[in-house]
Amino acid sequence: MFRFKVFFLVGIVCSSLVEIETVRAETESIIVTPHRSTSDISSFGGSLTVISSDEIERSQYVNVADLLRGYPGLDVVRSGGRGGNTSIFMRGANSEHVLVLLDGIELNNPVTPTRTLNFGALSLENVERIEVLRGPQSGVWGSNAIGGVINIITKTGEAGPRFKVSTEGGTFKRFAQKLYVAHSTKELDTSLSFVREQEGGISAADERAGNSERDNFENTSLTLRAKYNSLWGGTLDNTLRLNRSAAGLDNQGGIGGDDPNRDLKNEELFWRSALSGELLEGLWIPAFGISYAYHDLKDENVPDSINPLDELGSRYRGEMFTADWINTFSLSDSLRLVAGFEFQKERGSSLYQSDGVFGPFESRFGPFDAVNRAYFINGLMSVSDNISFSSALRLDSHEVFGDRMTYNVSPVIYFLDKTLKVRGAIGTGFRAPSLNQLFSTYGSPELDPEESESWELGVDHTLANDHASIGLTYYQQSIDQLITFDPATFLFQNINEAKIDGLEFYGEYEPTENLKIRLDYTLLNTKDVQTDQQLLRRAKDQINLFLSYSLRNIPATLSASYRYTGARFDNNFSLYPPVRERLSPYGIVDLRLSSHISKNLRIYGRLENVFDKEYQDVLGFGSYGRGVFAGMELML
């Protein structure tokens, strides 16, 4: 644990620091992720999906990963039930190529083998919006952003005091309770939220393989946001989130995988404070921020009647400290620059102890740490009312690999009275190997960093007096020195190159005020150039169809969704050496109903996997069948 920890915890109360990129947007057209500063979405040429608070509420989901399953370019993969290892592949890139932020705090865990975030216990409580930025973003955000960025922005206060409490229950012995309290004045915006989830679960090792024991899940999450709007003439913003979860695990997927008392316990603390202000009548807005993230995972298993000889006790601790200084310069009405510096120190350590038929085994890792310093500048220029241009340049100086320069360029041109938008983007990416890939017994300090190049071209067209719109994007990406895990040697290694190309299509139509229809289609081709094989766990085709109808006689909304995931490949670790196996495609239908029966009371319900489709995201691991859930929300 860093020696600064006590200072950070005290700083939650007394620190005076804020982050520009997490400022709450006043309208859905305002975005923050592409430039680390607020800007209009119409001026951005890349691929960005903004998920609003209304969409989050309509989804009725509690977990971030469940919500993201229905959006283009994202492939969500979960091992078993809730709480199991949950990864997101963006546009075919690895899960570690996705940078995940919460109010400017990096959530990627430095102690995991590939420096990923397990989305299994990441809840949606207190989330105002989510911006999903696809394609390499290292020119703005640095390492881990080869595939893209998921930026989660929490709520500040609302006008006057607000209070919400809800409860939900249903199949799989699922219960969830949520509490939200918010208040806003001229000087202070605050929000506090609390979520408690419990679930009896499903068999992680899949009931269809003869595994009868259900793996439960519990999660408690608390989020506090406090924003002072006139402190010392500046703005002071603080975010604190605490997570504690416990999930039942099995020893493996498939036949004989059951284990009735193996548990994964996870504790997380995320904190950020920052200060910003306006100088020179708003021409210069400096911001200085400090973030701290702490991850503590325990994997525990004691002998039982099914596995009388197996014993396991392991612990993984990861920490990350980040300090950044960001300056926004409004040089004219048509030109803005954002320049800054970022310092990041990560640390990880673990202890693995086991005993079984082959005798006792112990492995210690760390503590190891690594430091990265970065300098970046990006600009947004409006050439005319119909043409805009953004670019970014970043230099990362890693203490192991030295300097890496990355960039992004993104133009936008409008035609036909701004109903036709032609956009493009080109950029490079860089990712340093994780601490585990460098220093563990499965890694090597000789590994090369991953580097990528990408370009995309897209068009969006608004039709029928703004009642319909369509869009099409084609992209290509190559990743050199891609780091993968060799299941035959149990070592991380660089492969020569991976090539990815894809097509994303969307169509939206509102034939009446009551009916909304949206269709998303993703075609993805991935290839390991060395083996000429498709990359693992990436579906070639994905289709998402969403329909929403607002009833006229009563204030209620009925929606239906269809999610199709095409065939993909995974490794079968029950064989040695592991062999690739094809996972069958599947389609899932969900139904939802929500009604505000009064000003202060909303009731809702949903039917998931209506046709009880059997499928697997990960070879050998179970998935949810048909589920019925209902809840109510009281608002004051």
The rounded distance, in Å, linking the Cα atoms of 633 and 621 is: 34
Residue 614 lies in a domain: no
* Amino acid at the residue 152: I
Tokens of 177: 């309770």
The rounded distance, in Å, linking the Cα atoms of 61 and 340 is: 36
Q: Residue 439 in 3-state DSSP?
A: helix
- CB-CB contact of 110 with 368 (8 Å): no
Residue 364: φ, ψ to 5°: -110, 140
Q: Residue 359 in 3-state DSSP?
A: coil
Tokens of 276: 């910003």
Cα three-residue angle 433-525-498, rounded to 5 degrees: 30
> What residues make up the domain containing 380?
5-609
Residue 616 lies in a domain: no
Give bridge partners of residue 288 from the DSSP assignment: 275, 325
Buried b (16+ CB within 10 A) or exposed e, 185-206: eeebbbbbbbbbbbbebbbbbb
**Where does 124-233 show beta strands of DSSP type E?**
127-134, 148-154, 162-170, 174-184, 188-202, 215-231
pTM, full prediction: 0.92
Tokens 């034939």 sit at which residue? 511
Residue 624 lies in a domain: no
Number of domains composing the chain: 1
Give bridge partners of residue 168 from the DSSP assignment: 176, 631
Residue 345 lies in a domain: yes
Tokens of 199: 């679930």
- CB-CB contact of 495 with 504 (8 Å): no
Using CB atoms within 10 A of its CB, is residue 314 exposed (0-12), middle (13-18) or buried (19+)? middle
Q: Residue 491 in 3-state DSSP?
A: strand
Residue 264 lies in a domain: yes
Residue 455 lies in a domain: yes
How many CA atoms lie less than 13 Å away from 243 in the CB half-sphere? 28
**Where does 306-419 show beta strands of DSSP type E?**
311-332, 335-355, 361-382, 387-398, 402-415
Give bridge partners of residue 456 from the DSSP assignment: 425, 475
- CB-CB contact of 615 with 584 (8 Å): yes
* Amino acid at the residue 536: L
What is the domain-level CATH number for residue 430?
Answer: 2.40.170.20
The pLDDT of residue 232 is 67
Task: Give how far the C-alpha of residue 412 lies from the chain's centroid of Cα atoms, to the nearest Å.
Answer: 26
Q: Count how many residues are written for the chain.
A: 636
Indicate if the alpha-carbon torsion angle 530, 534, 535, 536 is positive or negative: negative
Residues of the chain where predicted confidence (pLDDT) is lower than 50: 1-27
Residue 633 lies in a domain: no
Residue 625 lies in a domain: no
